[in-house]
Amino acid sequence: MQILMTEPDSALALHKEAQRLRWLFEAFEHQQHVTEQETGFTYRTDRHDLALAFADWLKDFEAQKPADSRSNAAYVGFAAGLMLRALIRHTPSSVSARPKAAQENDPAHFWPEGYLYVAFCLSVRGQVLRSDYGERQYQSGKLGDLRTWWSFKENTSEDPSRAIGFLDLFAGCEPAWDVPQIFRGRPGFRLATGQPGQTGGHLR
Amino acid sequence: MTHPFPPSLSPGLGASVLRDALRGVTHMAGLAQDALRPISPHLPLPLRDAVEGGLRTLETLTREENAAPLDAATLERAQAFVIGRSDRTADAEACARCLGFAWQHLGRDHEGLHHMLFSEAVTAGLLCKLAECHDSTETQRAAAILETIIGSGAILMLPGSPVGTENGIELACEDIVSSALVWLLAERAASTTQELALLDMAQALTRSTADATASGKLSRAARTAQLRNLATHL
């Protein structure tokens, strides 16, 4: 999976910049181009639906934003998961042209729209962690595993909130499957604030 | 001696009156085309071509003048007024100019609004009065502008409009003026082209939160805070 790696053209920290619709439109368009080059698919993205996804995400993002700054880096991963959930709910992108040669075992061919959304969310997650918190994002082997993608698609069609756990899985982190939509229930939150009883962080 | 049409507009309130007149001509040309459409197949071809061609030309020329890009200085003056940092007449007029521009741009695909006229001159007058009253501080100015425009004669239904076109118009008007205010409150873009894209984004964002930002029973301060919050995330 190819993800965009561009620096923001702004004086704002990236995690602040990413809370603006103008940045989202530009970054998503860039990621769409990168994914089209990688997969051979051509996508059409409805800007109104993308704005709906952004507004949906923003509401959830602000509702659970932690007061304790020690949780900020952990919140980046959660926020990326919320964005994936919003994209899956609002489905702003659709495939307008398919490549001639389909590769059945490739997740990008199994679910092209989901593949684009995951690529976008991982790219934003990775960039924010790197530029604002000096942390590195890992990519799990699950990202290329078709069975995981099959489960991902089926589970999120039943409950889009499960997308949050799957993004954690793809990024090599321990998902909180029980309550994926609650930040305070995540291992990352407990680690950052010193709450006992959980392990977390990246799985190698 | 021939005169170019439309004429180059000079700055100031006089220009807003002339732009209103051009808007009126645009709308009337559109209405005339709509009215002629059912009977045009029965007209003699030369007459039909002459009438339809003339109306189309009139509509296009007058629309182009009002869609002329805004310069950065006008946008900055309008922004100073909307955020409540300026009460100057020139800045109120710049704000009216920008709102008129936004109306033209955002309303272009809304069929119901083709029968509505946004008066830049009336808006400029209302905004000047608003500034003189000094009852709209920085925390209330944006909502005060919205209330003033929606609840006044700045937006008019054209005479001769088809019956029933008023349905849903008030919401559409509020959508456009709210979107324009969010746009004016936001950080300025780097170019005219980007400003236009930003205006479209402001509408998308405002529409997506329409339930939460509907004027309803909100105070001016709360409404202004909502518009400002949207602008922060634009």
Task: pLDDT band for B229, please (50, 70, 90 cuts).
Answer: very high
What pLDDT shows up at residue A29? 96
Query: If you count them, how many residues does chain A have?
Result: 204
Percent of chain B at pLDDT > 90 equals 40
* Out of B197, B200, B205, closest to residue A55 by CB: B205
* Out of B207, B208, B234, closest to residue A22 by CB: B234
> Which residues in chain B are closer than 8 Å to A20, comparing Cβ atoms?
232-234
Contacts of B216 (CB under 8 A, 6+ apart): none
Is A67 a residue whose pLDDT tops 50? yes
Percent of chain B at pLDDT > 70 equals 86
Residue bearing tokens 């439109």: A25
Residue A3, CA distances (Å) to A17, A75, B96 in order? 18, 20, 44
What tens digit of pLDDT does each residue of A95-135 get?
999 998 877 789 999 999 999 999 999 999 999 999 999 99
> Which residues in chain B are closer than 8 Å to A83, comparing Cβ atoms?
none
* Out of A20, A47, A52, closest to residue B233 by CB: A20
What pLDDT shows up at residue B144? 93
Nearest residue in B to A55, CA atom: B208
Question: A4 in a domain, yes or no?
Answer: no
Mean pLDDT comparison of A168-172, B38-42, B50-54, highest-scoring range: A168-172
What tens digit of pLDDT does each residue of B148-163 get?
998 888 998 877 777 6
Question: B25 in a domain, yes or no?
Answer: no
What pLDDT shows up at residue A76? 95
Percent of chain A at pLDDT > 70 equals 87
Higher pLDDT, B12 or B173: B173
* Residue A34 and residue A119 in contact, taking contact as beta carbons nearer than 8 Å: yes
Query: What are the structure tokens assigned to B16, written together?
Result: 């807003």
Contacts of A194 (CB under 8 A, 6+ apart): none
Domain hosting A141: range is: 14-193
Q: Give SS3 for B156.
A: strand
Residue bearing tokens 């220009």: B15
Is B233 part of the contact surface with chain A (CB cutoff 8 Å)? yes
Residue B12, CA distances (Å) to B15, B92, B120, B136, B211 in order? 6, 11, 11, 24, 37
Work out how many domains chain A is built from and give that number: 1
Rounded to whole angstroms, the Cα distance separating B30 from B165 reads 14
Domain hosting B181: range is: 71-232
What pLDDT shows up at residue B164? 65
Query: How many C-beta atoms lie closer than 10 Å to residue B166's C-beta?
Result: 13
Question: A199 in a domain, yes or no?
Answer: no
Is B4 a residue whose pLDDT tops 50? no
Question: B155 in a domain, yes or no?
Answer: yes
Rounded to whole angstroms, the Cα distance separating A46 from B228 reads 25
Question: B106 in a domain, yes or no?
Answer: yes
Instruction: Please list, residue by residue across A34-59, b when 16 or more beta carbons sit within 10 angstroms of its beta carbon and e when fewer do.
Output: bbbeebbbebebebebbbbbbbbbbe
* Residue B165 and residue B115 in contact, taking contact as beta carbons nearer than 8 Å: yes
Nearest residue in B to A50, CA atom: B204
Contacts of A54 (CB under 8 A, 6+ apart): A21, A24, A86, B205, B208, B233
Percent of chain A at pLDDT > 90 equals 62
Work out how many domains chain B is built from and give that number: 1
Question: A8 in a domain, yes or no?
Answer: no
What pLDDT shows up at residue B214? 60
